[in-house]
């Protein structure tokens, strides 16, 4: 069956990947395309034909974009028509790498700000650096996205306000032993800030599920790139350190104070640039990762549930257990998101979707079995910040997986389109970030900065 929405999505991805089109340009072209389709279907043409005719009429939006960066003698009229845009696009292209290099340096400079206040040794101030890590690494990514998408001042203001709020809250809050709320900020600030990056990535269409899914792809791929580049960096630094030691020079201070700091803070914006440049790599990596680890995880969870049922062993450490199961649920969610981002939404349900559903359900069962044992005890000892944060995440993740289970079940039984499952998941995504923001911003005052 012809699915207009997924065809339009493919078309949009296609023209996005061919040129230097901004988010707004693509949205405008899409609106145009839909107008054309509506007019034709209004005259009685069927949807599939209307789509094809409209695409054809749009002409070579892709080729046209292509012309922006390539001079073609056959199409003189385009050059006559678009001299400014042509030159502009080429200049932008050339400037991009310069902008990215500057942004990498900016990340490094941000990471050197604590040194101005006398906290120069990273090892001695690990917590300070860790809780600010996202505030060093993400602003360059945000600037890159704003620049790349030519976003309006409203987005710039939102970005400045968000980063400012977190920077002030994270660093101005006092912290008393045992510093639990401060440690919580380390993990929760990046998650909360991802929501801002999602808004900047999607631009004016930030409410749209398909753009959010694009961001999931983008973030997943940038993560893979960052890990690969980081590993390469470690090897380089290790080799360099060893070599200089052989000739009697200790460059470790130089490495740990400058190279490592700049590298760590800059790698994300560079990865973001790589992802934007060569879209489509995730379409080969994500399915492979998902296919390898989905069944393996399913087996592990199954074994866990069976063990718990047979031994009746209720784990004794509540907090550790909560955190462990948060990690399990988050990993399962990650696997489903990877699967989702690589899946063709119009493909009918197959056995693989059943395995995904199995994984989600198994994770929920494991979580329920494990938590049922400690629910009573949670309230008795009162809530520490760690326990409250872990419990909140568990609830957020559990609802998310319930949603996915319900969606997958109805999709498999043919009562729901896969696109709807995607829509549900994408609408739910901000919940995780909002909870993380709550933990990072509201927990310290709530728990008296302990």
Partner 1 sequence: MDIQKDLVAASATPIVLSLLRHGESYGYAIIRSVREVSGDRIEWTDGMLYPVLHRLEAAGFVRSTWRTADSGRRRKYYRITKQGEAELARLREQWDVVHDALGRLAQSRKTGADDV
Token code pair at residue 272? 């973001």
In the region spanning residues 355 to 394, those forming contacts with partner 1, defined by CB under 8 A, are none
**Minimum CB–partner distance for residue 156 and partner 1 (Å):** 17
Nearer to partner 1, 204 or 315 (CB): 204
Distance separating the N- and C-terminal Cα atoms of the chain: 59
Token code pair at residue 385? 């910040």
**Minimum CB–partner distance for residue 28 and partner 1 (Å):** 5
**Minimum CB–partner distance for residue 88 and partner 1 (Å):** 8
Specify the length of the chain in residues: 450
Report how far residue 201's alpha carbon sits from residue 148's, in angstroms, rounded to the nearest whole number.
9
> Which residue in the set 1, 42, 44, 59 belongs to the binding site for partner 1 (CB under 8 A)?
59
**Minimum CB–partner distance for residue 430 and partner 1 (Å):** 21
Nearer to partner 1, 86 or 257 (CB): 86
**Minimum CB–partner distance for residue 82 and partner 1 (Å):** 5
Burial 161-194 (b: 16+ CB within 10 A, else e): ebbeebbebbbebebeeeebbbbbbbbbbbbbbb
Contact 215, 198 (CB under 8 A): yes
Nearer to partner 1, 61 or 370 (CB): 61
Contact 442, 367 (CB under 8 A): no
Q: Can residue 57 be called a binding residue for partner 1 (CB under 8 A)? A: yes
Nearer to partner 1, 61 or 301 (CB): 61
Judged by CB under 8 A, the stretch of 55-63, 105-113, 302-310, 402-410 that binds partner 1 is 55-63
Nearer to partner 1, 31 or 120 (CB): 31
Judged by CB under 8 A, the stretch of 80-88, 106-114, 321-329, 438-446 that binds partner 1 is 80-88
Residue in 195, 173, 198, 194 with CA at minimum distance from that of residue 184: 173
**Minimum CB–partner distance for residue 157 and partner 1 (Å):** 17
Residue in 285, 260, 396, 269 with CA at minimum distance from that of residue 339: 285
418 vs 177, 230, 285, 402, 413, CA distance in Å? 49, 36, 21, 16, 11
Judged by CB under 8 A, the stretch of 42-50, 75-83, 129-137, 322-330 that binds partner 1 is 75-83
How many other CB atoms are there within 10 angstroms of residue 447's CB atom? 18
Burial 4-24 (b: 16+ CB within 10 A, else e): eebbbbebbbebbebbbbbbe
In the region spanning residues 94 to 123, those forming contacts with partner 1, defined by CB under 8 A, are none
**Minimum CB–partner distance for residue 59 and partner 1 (Å):** 4
Three-class secondary structure of residue 174 per DSSP: coil
> Which residue in the set 47, 52, 85, 355 belongs to the binding site for partner 1 (CB under 8 A)?
85
**Minimum CB–partner distance for residue 250 and partner 1 (Å):** 55
Report how far residue 221's alpha carbon sits from residue 276's, in angstroms, rounded to the nearest whole number.
10
Q: Which string of x and - marks every residue 8-47 that binds partner 1 (by CB under 8 A)?
A: ----------------xx-xxx-xx-xxx-----------
**Minimum CB–partner distance for residue 427 and partner 1 (Å):** 18
Q: Can residue 84 be called a binding residue for partner 1 (CB under 8 A)? A: yes
> Which residue in the set 7, 165, 204, 392 belongs to the binding site for partner 1 (CB under 8 A)?
204
**Minimum CB–partner distance for residue 68 and partner 1 (Å):** 8
Report how far residue 199's alpha carbon sits from residue 201's, in angstroms, rounded to the nearest whole number.
5
Nearer to partner 1, 61 or 274 (CB): 61
Nearer to partner 1, 59 or 118 (CB): 59
Judged by CB under 8 A, the stretch of 52-60, 290-298, 317-325, 368-376 that binds partner 1 is 52-60
Residue in 146, 169, 148 with CA at minimum distance from that of residue 157: 146
Q: List, as one string, the DSSP characters of 10-37.
A: HHHHHHHHHS---HHHHHHHHHHHHHHH
Nearer to partner 1, 85 or 127 (CB): 85
Q: How many chain residues bind partner 1 (CB under 8 A)?
A: 28
Nearer to partner 1, 58 or 355 (CB): 58
263 vs 108, 144, 190, 193, CA distance in Å? 7, 17, 18, 20
Sign of CA dihedral 108, 111, 114, 118: negative
Three-class secondary structure of residue 60 per DSSP: coil
Judged by CB under 8 A, the stretch of 72-80, 109-117, 156-164, 340-348 that binds partner 1 is 72-80
Q: Can residue 77 be called a binding residue for partner 1 (CB under 8 A)? A: yes
The residues of the shown chain that bind partner 1, judged by CB under 8 A, are: 24-25, 27-29, 31-32, 34-36, 54, 57-61, 64, 68, 76-78, 80-82, 84-85, 88, 204
């Amino acid at each position: 069956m012809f699915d207009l929405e997924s065809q339009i999505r493919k078309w949009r991805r296609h023209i996005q990947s061919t040129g230097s089109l901004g988010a707004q340009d693509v949205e405008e072209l899409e609106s145009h395309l839909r107008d054309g389709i509506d007019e034709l279907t209004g005259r009685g043409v069927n949807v599939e034909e209307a789509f094809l005719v409209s695409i054809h009429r749009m002409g070579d939006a892709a080729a046209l974009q292509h012309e922006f960066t390539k001079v073609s003698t056959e199409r003189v009229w385009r050059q006559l028509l678009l001299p400014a845009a042509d030159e502009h696009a080429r200049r932008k292209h050339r400037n991009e790498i310069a902008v990215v290099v500057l942004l990498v340096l900016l990340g490094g400079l941000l990471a050197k700000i604590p040194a101005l206040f006398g906290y120069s040794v990273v090892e001695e101030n690990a917590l300070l650096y860790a809780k600010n890590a996202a505030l060093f690494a993400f602003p360059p990514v945000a600037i890159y996205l704003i620049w790349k998408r030519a976003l309006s001042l409203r987005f710039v203001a939102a970005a400045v306000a968000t980063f400012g709020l977190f920077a002030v809250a994270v660093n101005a809050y006092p912290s008393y032993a045992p510093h639990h709320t401060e440690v919580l900020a380390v993990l929760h600030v990046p998650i909360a800030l991802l929501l801002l990056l999602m808004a900047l990535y999607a631009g004016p269409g930030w409410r749209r599920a398909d753009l959010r899914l694009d961001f999931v792809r983008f973030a997943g791929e940038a993560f893979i790139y960052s890990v690969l580049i980081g590993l390469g960096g470690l090897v380089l630094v290790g080799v360099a350190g060893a070599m200089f030691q052989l000739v009697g020079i200790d460059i470790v201070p130089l490495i740990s104070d400058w190279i490592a700091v700049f590298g760590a803070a800059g790698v994300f914006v560079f990865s973001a640039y790589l992802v934007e440049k060569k879209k489509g790599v995730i379409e080969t990596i994500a399915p492979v990762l998902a296919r390898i680890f989905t069944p393996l995880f399913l087996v592990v969870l199954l074994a866990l549930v069976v063990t718990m049922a047979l031994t009746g062993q209720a784990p004794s450490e509540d907090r550790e257990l909560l955190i462990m199961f948060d990690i399990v649920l988050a990993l399962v969610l990650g696997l489903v998101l990877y699967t989702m981002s690589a899946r063709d939404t119009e493909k009918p349900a197959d056995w693989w979707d059943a395995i995904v559903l199995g994984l989600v359900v198994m994770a929920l069962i494991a979580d329920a079995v494990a938590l049922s044992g400690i629910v009573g005890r949670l309230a008795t000892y009162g809530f520490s910040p760690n326990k409250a944060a872990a419990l909140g995440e568990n609830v957020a993740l559990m609802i998310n997986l319930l949603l996915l289970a319900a969606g997958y079940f109805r999709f498999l039984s043919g009562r729901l389109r896969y696109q709807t499952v995607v829509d549900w998941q994408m609408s739910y995504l901000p919940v995780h970030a909002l909870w993380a923001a709550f933990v990072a911003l509201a927990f310290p005052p709530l728990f008296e900065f302990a």
